[in-house]
Structure 1
Amino acid sequence: MRVFMKGWRPAVVLLFLLFIWEMVVKIADIPGWLMPAPTAILRELITGFNRFSEHLLSTIGLSIGGFIIGCSVGLLVAILLHLLPKVQEAVYPLLILSQNVPIIVLAPLLVIWFGFGILPKIIVITLVCFFPVTIAALGGFRNTPPEMKHYLLMAGASKTQMFTKLEWPNSLPSLFSGLKISATYSVMGAVISEWLGAKKGIGVYMTLASSSFRTDRVFVAIFIIMMLSLLFFGAISLCEKRLVKWRREA
């Protein structure tokens, strides 16, 4: 009930925007290949779902696999940099620079280096997922209350105990913020990676639809991508509520 009470306002705004979109297309008599109406997009989604479902399942599997690998790499990097401050000073600027390289430019190079298999696609998703997790986790580690650190040091805690008993639990809220960002990025990364030459996936579906001027199918793919991102975001938020319940109650 609480979710419904919080979510009805955005739903009303969304329906209102779709209504305006529908009216503008009808009144201005805009051709379907240029700007399809929402009803036409919905009709294409329903009638062509069997054709689209194969691409959808492929993208979901690729997104989840890349997300798990990317977030694992990001978390491991964050822990290593936190435990090795000198290494963090040397590597941190390189992490920032790694995000200045456009993925759409790097993707063709990955195909040249690793071929058309799944490896370059996983690398693309990993590159877009690991950075938010790394930065969020490092921020959580740094924001550990100093008085709590002092208390544990007075109690004789080792560096390992300091990390496992204090710094790691304290970083969970920040870490989940990075995970939620990476969850949405993983779908985008999967679609971009499918443009590299995949046989199926939402990215392939969009390419075929745009080349044949089926704009309604392009919008179907766009809306599905948005829904997948919201679902992944909601799944991470649900995990956060379960695992960081102590922070919410406090």
Structure 2
Amino acid sequence: MAFMKKLTNTSINFLPIVAVLLILAIWQAISFFQIIPEFLLPSPLSVLEVFKSDYSALFSNSLVTLIEAFWGLCFGVLLGVGLALIMDLFHPIYKALYPLLVITQTIPTVAIAPLLILWFGYGILPKVVLVVATTFFPIAVGMLDAFRSTDKDLITLMRTLGANTPKIYFYIKFPDAIDSLFASLKISASYSLVGAVVSEWVGGFNGLGVYMTRVMKAYAYDKMFAVIFLISILSLALILLVNWIQYLITPWRRTNHAQA
């Protein structure tokens, strides 16, 4: 039984890889048989060639985008956790702010980006601000739901034992919210790159968004696809990084998995 379970898990892990390889094979066949012209849909091999020939430009621009995404994500997490904490502590603030948080997510980031460029210029600041606006909402909502769903009886027990509010958050609410934090962080990590790229589309000097704008104007679709692939790879890498951090700081999860 243990062998069959391990074999099943291994097979499931390989299924996404097989699916991706199958899609790439079909894509390559479409390009090879000229079902869609090469200049409209470059083949995977052509896209791979871009990574080799334009490596320095892709690397330097991706580094700029990652820096913008990193700082925006850091401030977005701090803002999201801070808002969740304040709204959980003060119910009137929760009633006042929660609808506004929802409304902020109905505004397209593409519409905000030109205003940020106009207000803050073409440097890194408007990019970071847009990433913050994109990433803080999942963190705030996830943490707020986790705070508000904490076992009330456990909180009452802690208060009867003399625990004050900081101790309740430290020993009960924050540990209970760790899983929600990391689940939201995975979403925000992928959003951070998208937000940085969108802000670079509108205005900037370097970054993957600027690179995409330049190659799009030159009708270099092989380079466009290369950037799309690179953004996807970087997003997956950020999610894996979040998983690794979660693995490090939650040893009890490793114990549960080992026992299972």
TM-score, with structure 2 as normaliser = 0.91
Which deviates the most, 110-119 or 221-230? 110-119
- Paired residues for 1:209-248 under 5 Å: 209-247=215-253
- Paired residues for 1:96-175 under 5 Å: 96-175=102-181
1-side partners of 2:180 and 2:254: how far apart?
Answer: 13
1:9 pairs, out of 5, 9, 15, with: 15
2-side partners of 1:220 and 1:207: how far apart?
Answer: 13
Deviations 1:173-204 (A, max 9, x none): 11111111100000001101111211111001
1:28 counterpart SS class: coil
Which deviates the most, 16-25 or 46-55? 46-55
Which deviates the most, 23-32 or 107-116? 23-32
Tell me, which stretches of 5 or more residues in structure 2 are unaligned? 1-5
2-side partners of 1:4 and 1:222: how far apart?
Answer: 29
Contact 2:39 2:221 (8 Å CA) reproduced: yes
For 2:22, the aligned partner's letter is F
1-side partners of 2:143 and 2:65: how far apart?
Answer: 27
2-side partners of 1:238 and 1:6: how far apart?
Answer: 20
TM-score, with structure 1 as normaliser = 0.94
Deviation at 1:76, TM superposition (A): 1.1
1:80 paired residue number: 86
For 1:169, the aligned partner's letter is P
- Would you say 1:41 and 2:47 are equivalent positions? yes
Which deviates the most, 196-205 or 123-132? 196-205
Contact 1:173 1:244 (8 Å CA) reproduced: no
2-side partners of 1:136 and 1:77: how far apart?
Answer: 11
Which deviates the most, 126-135 or 141-150? 141-150
Which deviates the most, 37-46 or 49-58? 49-58
Deviation at 1:101, TM superposition (A): 0.7
Aligned pair count reads: 250
Deviation at 1:249, TM superposition (A): 3.8
For 1:136, the aligned partner's letter is G
- Would you say 1:89 and 2:95 are equivalent positions? yes
1:52 paired residue number: 58
Deviation at 1:113, TM superposition (A): 1.8
Contact 1:209 1:215 (8 Å CA) reproduced: yes
* Pair 131,14 (structure 1): closer, same or farther in 2 beyond 3 Å: same
For 2:244, the aligned partner's letter is L
Contact 1:121 1:194 (8 Å CA) reproduced: yes
RMSD: 1.8
Contact 1:32 1:216 (8 Å CA) reproduced: no
Which deviates the most, 181-190 or 240-249? 240-249
1:185 pairs, out of 180, 184, 191, with: 191
Deviation at 1:156, TM superposition (A): 1.9
Contact 2:247 2:253 (8 Å CA) reproduced: no
2-side partners of 1:29 and 1:132: how far apart?
Answer: 42
1-side partners of 2:91 and 2:250: how far apart?
Answer: 27
2-side partners of 1:148 and 1:137: how far apart?
Answer: 18
1:200 paired residue number: 206
Tell me, which stretches of 5 or more residues in structure 1 are unaligned? none
1:160 counterpart SS class: helix
Deviation at 1:30, TM superposition (A): 3.0
